[in-house]
Structure 1
Amino acid sequence: MNTPRYIIGIDLGTTNSAVAYVPADTDRVEEASIRLLEIPQLVDAGVVASRPLLPSFVLLPTAQDVPRDALALPWDPNPGMAVGEFARRRGEEIPHRLIASAKSWLCNTLVDRKARILPWDEAAGGSPSATEGKMSPVEASAAILRHLRLAWNHVMARSPSGETQAHLAMENQAVFLTVPASFDPVARELTVAAAQMAGLPKVTLLEEPQAAFYAWIAHHAERWREVMAPGDLVLVCDVGGGTTDFSLIQVADDQGRLSLERVAVGNHLLIGGTNMDLTLAYALARQLAEGGTRLDSWQMNGLWQSCRTAKERLLSEPDLQRLPVTVLGRGSRLIGGTISTDLTRETAEHLLRDGFLPLCDREDRPQATKRAGIQEFGLAFEADPAITRHLAAFLDRAAADGRSAAPTAVLFNGGVMKSALFRQQILTALDRWSPSGTVREIDGADFDLAVARGAACYGLAKQGTGIRIRGGLGRAYYIGIAAAMPAVPGLPAPTKALCVAAFGMEEGTTAAIADREFVLRVGEPVVFDFLGSTTRKADAVGTVVEDWEEQIQPITTLETTLDGEPGQILPVTLELHVTEVGTLELWCVSKVDERRWKLEWNVRER
């Protein structure tokens, strides 16, 4: 394959997606060199225009909802669906045809994420008999990524004759796709599967908070000393449409150069703009009910989508004080009339600030509420929506590692953080918790586009152009291997600890134990024990520790059945890859054929 011409960063967002790119031969990381793709998309029935953001919505209309020829795109005269701006707007009117928050469904462990359950229908419950006209979360994510790929190929790789030039096609570039820092291994695998389904056979995953910080690096280039000083501990606070992510990055001076180390990553929090939109929808529904108008579930879904648009405008346009919110009525007439009410700035700010960002004490923790024994299926939102209490808990966990967890600066990212009111509320909370004084906000690049820009910047850093955020492993990792010895009645074979990842090993690196041979049992249930140590810092990859109980602790156990003939035992070597998103991939490589088996676990989970 030819050397990629471009490094491409893709932000597959819950609410909006974006694409940034930079020539692969760029020798300096500067914001000006990172460009944004203007994405062609339907903005109205039969109308195509280019926008820097692609709303992450998929509309699956019938011919009665939207004429088929009105969905045509420059590269597909009959796509059968709409992705982007028109999907979002028309979907507010026919919400039962709209897939929203597909990214959040990717990490919902309570559903089969490969089953066709979206748009979610509470009445049908996602049953197999109700899958006509639906997509799985993976397929919906793939539809968004496919639109981005085909839009790129149309804009950047089209020849004068209209054909796609292979050497410029997105699938042949270096593509970096961002995910929440807290995505579990399954959600990450499903994201990769969606990319492959979309025609992107090879992508590299990158955490969104790290990408936001890389965008900051590109924004400030060599002027970082004007903004930060060695010793700063930067909180990256990323609140998007569906998730909230926290990361801590330590700033140091390495012989006059900026040195960055990511020292903590938060848990997965399904809190974001989607929760806020639903809060506003329920508030307006109560307001309508007091006036004698009650909404059914279909209308509530439409109101939820309409509140999102109104909220975004109210929080980003300071001069607006109120906006009408309209939902289709139910009736015998063609449209059935409409129901309208107003959402005021005062209502939005009061509900969202006090409900999602209450000022709390440093010792406060997310509140556990009593749950109903049976509840409707759907997205697994956090029981406590208070982002500030989740932030206090994150800082407490970070401090448990023995490091300072008092941020001196905050980098905000995500669409929700476009609101100056919300940013100030978090800064006020951090000031109350800080032992050393005021916590300052550092200027970011763009709340909507920073993650895509940062992913492209990271691609440059990975090939040696620019600063790279270090995130070396905070412990050494081992896998248990059974000793080869004669069986003794009543005594299991002793387990030795094989070091597969050394202390401080950088994420994005690979190591191999090629000089030793192991045996692997396939085709039947087996158990793998994963171990770790914070004290054995000198163990290299491949070190075998026989007497390990005092210095090495069990972390987790994986029970699985590896593909193969039942009971077959194969000679293998081992390869270890530490990914950029915090997982260890241990590959067992057959010595007799081309087969490889992957064992994976998240080193950030406790």
Structure 2
Amino acid sequence: MDGNYIIGIDLGTTNSVVAYKKRGSDSAIELFQILQLTKEGHVEERKSLPSFLYIPGEHDLNKKQIALPWNKNMGYCSGELARKQGNKVPGRMISSAKSWLSHQQVDREEKLLPFQGEEELEKISPVEASTRYLSHIKESWDHQFRKEKNAAFVDQEIYLTVPASFDAVARELTVKAAKAAGIEATLLEEPQSAFYAWLYREGENWRNKLQVGDVVLVVDVGGGTSDFCLVAVEEQDGNLELNRIAVGNHILLGGDNIDLALAHLISAKLPKAKLDPWQSLSLWYSCCEAKEALFSDPTLKKANVAILGRSSSLIGGTLKAKLTREELENVAKNGFFPEVDIHNFSVQKHKVGLMQMGLPYATEPAITKHIAEFLQQNSNNQELIRPTAVLFNGGVFKADVLQQQVTSVINSWLPDAQVKTLNSHDLDTSVAIGAVYYGTTKHGEGIRIRGGVARSYYLGIETAMPAIPGVPPPLRGLCVIPSGMEEGSESDVPGTELGLMIGEPVEFPFFSSNTRKEDLIGDDVDDLETLQSSSPLETTLSVKEGVKKGEMVPVKLHSKVTEVGTLEISCRTTDNKHSWDLQFNVRKHDQ
């Protein structure tokens, strides 16, 4: 890249943030002020872009009201105005596109958003929604830097963050969304990025805060997801080294869930009028605004909650109530961060066979239980892995009481030791800032966290056995990418030769694990119950020179982790003359 800047993008579930730094300079990392509509026809700079899209109706916002400096003919709006207008007309607003990207039970390239939106609305896919957010960021940057040479957004060195729990398909779709916006970006895990932001703020002083043997638990609770990772402090050739040793599962649980719980609380205070679905959603968003107001101003004792009435009999046409700080802290602390006995707890799972389609939200609301489960899953020989420090990230932890509560719960699991809380900087913006810092480590500055890919990946291979009527051949899992495989590395998968038919489609079940860290490339796993199912890999071996349709060709597998952070797996003939890439089937996948 010949551009002037390193750029970090936190494409968040509820808010997106961009940070940047001049390449090759000692300048500080800055936040990019994103131009966006904040009300009809009015554009302002904001440090974040709310991750909402709004598609106006025929008698709704007009073209002039949603025009942007770089596009006077917009068919939708994004950011603050989209969130505000969606509060009034929820059926025309798109939200949580990032969460839909990781939803295996739907075709993530199908036009399905806004989910359960108005019937006549022309819908878009989760990938397209993500592309629109990124396009807005790109266009805003280009408008503001239009007079600077070599400052075009697409020419910069760009790092795009994703949850550590995103699987290979969700990562690939994120890259696809970026490319559709004209952006070439390298992926970075969000909890790692938050840790990089802490390293940036601490400078060389971090070495006085951590020592060899320390294990840092990063707890990242955003608007829609909870993400955990463990970073170990090790020694290499006399120098301190950081190594990411574990990541959690993808958990759709975060600040939005707190907002919904508050909405249930507030609804009991409203006049005895049944809320329709439109008003219920509006109440949810109003509770979010009240929560953010109380968390961002510790002096406030209460905040207003209001939704428009739907009946002329309602005085003033508006329903109003108050959310007190005591109520907020009680719901958040006792409902989502309760005390947990590490030796006797259970994480609630889905119990019914039939569920309404939608996002696969976590059934268990207690985030502290998910933290306990994460630590237990990554412990050896029944001995709990013992974090010595905790780093918080995400807007939820603006409330000191919640940081104190989580620290207290973790300390109760470690009676002979107390975790230290690392000073969290910029809870809303640290992921974007950390992504820029990571970019500087690529140029030899700072310290880089090692770890490679966070999961091991496996192809499902049929076991050779005599045919038995009604009994399908059993599957075994073949490790094609082991946990820790570094970006930019590739390898043949040893010990496997497959016979594939030219011209015929072939599909491989695909699995992953974030706990089987000892498996090596080429290892077999007989018990598939220990693996997580993902979207399958497929290809059709096209006819190439020297091979004919219908011919059985012996192939071997080859795997690669790209510099961008995506996976590539291919079938290669044993003489290495021909190769066919396997592609993820992102259509609806039934686990």
Query: CA separation of 1:212/1:489 partners in 2, compared to 1, >3 Å: closer, same or farther?
Result: closer
CA distance in 2, matches of 1:354, 1:518: 54
Paired residue for 1:38? 33
**1:109: Cα distance to partner?**
2.8
Query: CA separation of 1:572/1:3 partners in 2, compared to 1, >3 Å: closer, same or farther?
Result: farther
Q: Does 1:16 align with 2:15?
A: yes
Residue among 253, 265, 273 paired with 1:283: 265
Mapping of 1:474-553 within 5 angstroms?
506-513=485-492, 521=501, 523-525=504-506, 527=508
Paired residue for 1:604? none
**1:447: Cα distance to partner?**
0.6
Matched letter for residue 135 of structure 2: R
Residue among 250, 253, 274 paired with 2:232: 250
Can you list the C-alpha shifts for 1:226-254, whole angstroms capped at 9, x where unaligned?
32222111000000000001111111243
**1:380: Cα distance to partner?**
1.7
Residue among 135, 146, 150 paired with 1:146: 135
Query: CA separation of 1:3/1:575 partners in 2, compared to 1, >3 Å: closer, same or farther?
Result: farther
Q: Does 1:159 align with 2:139?
A: no
**In structure 2, the residue corresponding to 1:323 is in which secondary structure?**
strand
Matched letter for residue 307 of structure 2: V
**1:51: Cα distance to partner?**
1.2
Mapping of 1:414-493 within 5 angstroms?
414-471=394-451
Paired residue for 2:67? 72
Paired residue for 1:56? 51
Matched letter for residue 10 of structure 1: I
Can you list the C-alpha shifts for 1:194-214, whole angstroms capped at 9, x where unaligned?
2122222x2222110011011
**1:181: Cα distance to partner?**
0.9
Paired residue for 2:124? 135
Q: Any conservation in 2 of the 1:480–1:531 contact (CA below 8 Å)? A: no
Matched letter for residue 230 of structure 2: L
CA distance in 1, matches of 2:249, 2:217: 14
Q: Any conservation in 2 of the 1:21–1:36 contact (CA below 8 Å)? A: yes
CA distance in 2, matches of 1:468, 1:428: 30
Residue among 323, 337, 359 paired with 1:357: 337
Paired residue for 2:2? 3
TM-score by length of 2: 0.85
CA distance in 1, matches of 2:429, 2:98: 17
Query: CA separation of 1:549/1:98 partners in 2, compared to 1, >3 Å: closer, same or farther?
Result: closer
Paired residue for 1:224? 206
CA distance in 1, matches of 2:531, 2:39: 53
368-377 or 106-115, which deviates more = 368-377
Matched letter for residue 311 of structure 1: K
CA distance in 1, matches of 2:554, 2:255: 51
Q: Any conservation in 1 of the 2:247–2:454 contact (CA below 8 Å)? A: no
Matched letter for residue 525 of structure 1: V
**In structure 2, the residue corresponding to 1:287 is in which secondary structure?**
coil
**In structure 1, the residue corresponding to 2:269 is in which secondary structure?**
helix
**1:560: Cα distance to partner?**
5.1
CA distance in 2, matches of 1:235, 1:224: 15
578-587 or 292-301, which deviates more = 578-587
Matched letter for residue 462 of structure 1: K
Paired residue for 1:299? 279
Query: CA separation of 1:568/1:448 partners in 2, compared to 1, >3 Å: closer, same or farther?
Result: farther
**In structure 1, the residue corresponding to 2:35 is in which secondary structure?**
strand
CA distance in 2, matches of 1:376, 1:528: 26
Q: Any conservation in 2 of the 1:176–1:456 contact (CA below 8 Å)? A: yes
**1:283: Cα distance to partner?**
1.3
Residue among 379, 382, 388 paired with 1:408: 388
Paired residue for 1:171? 154
Query: CA separation of 1:118/1:335 partners in 2, compared to 1, >3 Å: closer, same or farther?
Result: farther
Q: Any conservation in 2 of the 1:571–1:592 contact (CA below 8 Å)? A: no
**In structure 1, the residue corresponding to 2:396 is in which secondary structure?**
helix
CA distance in 2, matches of 1:396, 1:536: 17
CA distance in 2, matches of 1:77, 1:474: 43
Q: Does 1:596 align with 2:591?
A: no
CA distance in 2, matches of 1:269, 1:434: 25
222-231 or 588-597, which deviates more = 588-597
Residue among 163, 166, 179 paired with 1:183: 166
50-59 or 241-250, which deviates more = 50-59
Residue among 280, 296, 301 paired with 1:321: 301
Matched letter for residue 15 of structure 1: T
TM-score by length of 1: 0.83
Matched letter for residue 459 of structure 1: G
Paired residue for 2:196? 214
Q: Any conservation in 2 of the 1:277–1:304 contact (CA below 8 Å)? A: yes
Query: CA separation of 1:579/1:364 partners in 2, compared to 1, >3 Å: closer, same or farther?
Result: farther
Q: Any conservation in 1 of the 2:569–2:581 contact (CA below 8 Å)? A: no
**In structure 1, the residue corresponding to 2:21 is in which secondary structure?**
strand
Can you list the C-alpha shifts for 1:545-597, whole angstroms capped at 9, x where unaligned?
9xx899x9996899654124464556767543236898753233575568533
Paired residue for 1:114? 109
**In structure 2, the residue corresponding to 1:391 is in which secondary structure?**
helix
Query: CA separation of 1:466/1:102 partners in 2, compared to 1, >3 Å: closer, same or farther?
Result: same
Q: Any conservation in 2 of the 1:45–1:70 contact (CA below 8 Å)? A: yes
50-59 or 366-375, which deviates more = 366-375
Paired residue for 1:47? 42
Q: Does 1:25 align with 2:5?
A: no
Matched letter for residue 242 of structure 2: L
CA distance in 2, matches of 1:181, 1:466: 22
**1:427: Cα distance to partner?**
0.4
CA distance in 1, matches of 2:174, 2:261: 28
**In structure 2, the residue corresponding to 1:261 is in which secondary structure?**
strand
Query: CA separation of 1:460/1:78 partners in 2, compared to 1, >3 Å: closer, same or farther?
Result: same
**In structure 2, the residue corresponding to 1:340 is in which secondary structure?**
strand
**1:425: Cα distance to partner?**
0.7
CA distance in 1, matches of 2:500, 2:24: 43
Query: CA separation of 1:304/1:408 partners in 2, compared to 1, >3 Å: closer, same or farther?
Result: same
Query: CA separation of 1:530/1:416 partners in 2, compared to 1, >3 Å: closer, same or farther?
Result: closer
**In structure 2, the residue corresponding to 1:18 is in which secondary structure?**
strand
Q: Any conservation in 1 of the 2:56–2:76 contact (CA below 8 Å)? A: yes
CA distance in 2, matches of 1:392, 1:329: 43
Q: Any conservation in 2 of the 1:525–1:559 contact (CA below 8 Å)? A: no
Paired residue for 1:93? 88
**In structure 2, the residue corresponding to 1:69 is in which secondary structure?**
coil
CA distance in 2, matches of 1:106, 1:159: 36
CA distance in 2, matches of 1:49, 1:78: 18
CA distance in 2, matches of 1:375, 1:529: 24
Query: CA separation of 1:599/1:282 partners in 2, compared to 1, >3 Å: closer, same or farther?
Result: closer
**1:119: Cα distance to partner?**
2.2
Q: Give unpaired runs (5+ residues) of structure 1.
A: 125-129, 602-606
Q: Any conservation in 2 of the 1:244–1:271 contact (CA below 8 Å)? A: yes
318-327 or 104-113, which deviates more = 104-113
Q: Any conservation in 1 of the 2:66–2:74 contact (CA below 8 Å)? A: yes
CA distance in 2, matches of 1:535, 1:302: 45
Can you list the C-alpha shifts for 1:508-533, whole angstroms capped at 9, x where unaligned?
13124499998754523355798999
Residue among 381, 398, 420 paired with 2:361: 381
Instruction: Quote the sequence identity (%).
Output: 42
